[in-house]
Chains A and B, each alone.
Chain A
């Protein structure tokens, strides 16, 4: 059954590779120093783009992982939910309540509040 997924990726990869090859072959090739420099509003580029970045992005990614994991645990719960709805609902509420503490903490710390 999962060979079908492989077929899908093969077909998509084939299309992407074909597009890249055809585009690469058919386009003209007239490189120039200015043409191949990084775009910086028409003036020569200053420094490298390999700069250090705001720590907030890291924080967002970190918090995302945590809540993504929470969601990952909810999928089996949701699938089996109708087997024991009240019991599982109570468990989900406890689980959410624990994480809600963290969520409120994030809100209070202003992490989710970009400026």
Chain B
């Protein structure tokens, strides 16, 4: 296992951050355009050709907005909280491998290759809860505080589902290194494992959706009840940082799901018969898989109504928790007694 020089790593880290933020900007546009299509209206189409300059207009507008700091707020924490959110959101993505070793002009197409990469992503995303909690607390506003408290309880509840769902994958792969998990291809081990893995996949996708606060789990944005939840008192760039964190977390969730369950950066092997080596091409396969899940997130948003808070908590603690644990146990039983 070779590692790149540190300055290369730093450049890659910066590149990942910039790419993620670019992806964030255009995801907001794609989301609005798609939601428009879902609802039989054009969506944003005025700024630039076909509306494709909308994110740039949005960015300029946000930067030049007045940055309000509510009088009653705790200034230091008010600034710290969105920074925490975005830093952990961006950093989590660095552990995702985007191609085989050395496929990025001789360098490795990932920022870090950790022996416990899977746990690293879980840990980094679990710290994102501080951004939401502290943001709501610092504003010293009732809606913000209630929103942040709800969101934090939601995030920690579904973190359990997330943590338990990955167990099935770890049992099959026997490693916490994401690259090794991709290289192994968990589905090829035995068809007997498929039921357990499918169940784990389902609970993981559901928990992931809840973790990134997307519909039908977007309680923080339940504007009828909470105005804008923890975002109520945020404006300008600090508000934008939270939006970035949300979309970056979506991107990370998509990449994480793809990496754990769908072969990550590897393409389907049968395509190698058509174009030799195509399944080894870096970036493209991860990108395609992430795009599928991003589309799924938007589709869900266009289709499903929001859960009520009690339904959300019950769903997480009773169904997701039990099924995720069952997936791990079924997979373990198959490994122990069938194969």
Contact = CB atoms under 8 A, between A and B. Distances in A.
Q: Do chains A and B touch in the complex (CB under 8 A)?
A: yes
Given A12-B91, A68-B160, A85 B317 contact: no
Q: In terms of DSSP, what is the predominant structure of the interface of chain B? A: helix
A5 B112 CA distance: 7
A100 B141 CA distance: 39
Interface residues of B, number: 80
B9 A4 contact: yes
Contacts of B119: 75
Interface string A1-13: 1111101111111
B313 A24 contact: no
A11 B10 CA distance: 7
Interface hub of B170, B171, B174, B321 (most chain A Cβ within 10 A): B171
A98 interface: no
A28 interface: yes
A26 B63 contact: yes
B61 to A, nearest CB: 11
B71 interface: yes
Interface in B143-180: 143-145, 149, 153, 156-157, 159-160, 163-164, 167, 170-171, 174-176
Interface string A65-107: 0011001001100111110011011001100100000000001
B112 A20 contact: no
Given A11-B13, A23-B236, A75-B170, A112 B142 contact: no
Interface stretch (B35-43, B287-295, B330-338): B330-338
B70 A38 contact: yes
Interface string A26-42: 11111101011111110
A10 B16 CA distance: 12
Contacts of A14: 14
A1 B314 contact: no
Contact of A12 (B17, B176, B332): B17
B65 A27 contact: yes
Nearest to B322: A103
Contact of A13 (B87, B139, B232): B87
A14 B67 CA distance: 20
B140 A81 contact: no
Contact of A81 (B67, B144, B164, B332): B332
Given A16-B87, A39-B141, A24 B67 contact: yes
Nearest to B136: A49
Contacts of B336: 85-86, 88-89
A22 B241 CA distance: 12
A30 B65 CA distance: 11
Contacts of B13: 4, 7-8, 10-12
Contact of A17 (B6, B62, B83, B313): B83
A81 B237 contact: no
A80 B233 CA distance: 48
Given A57-B149, A96-B325, A11 B16 contact: yes
B68 interface: yes
A61 B240 contact: no
A115 interface: yes
A27 B237 contact: yes
Contacts of A60: 153, 156-157, 313
A16 B86 contact: yes
26 contacts: A4-B112, A5-B120, A7-B9, A8-B90, A11-B14, A16-B86, A16-B90, A20-B79, A22-B63, A24-B237, A26-B64, A27-B236, A28-B64, A35-B68, A37-B71, A41-B227, A49-B142, A57-B153, A60-B313, A64-B160, A68-B163, A71-B160, A79-B170, A82-B335, A113-B310, A114-B309
Interface of A: 1-5, 7-17, 19-20, 22-24, 26-31, 33, 35-41, 45, 48-51, 53, 57, 60-61, 64, 67-68, 71, 74-75, 78-82, 85-86, 88-89, 92-93, 96, 107, 112-115
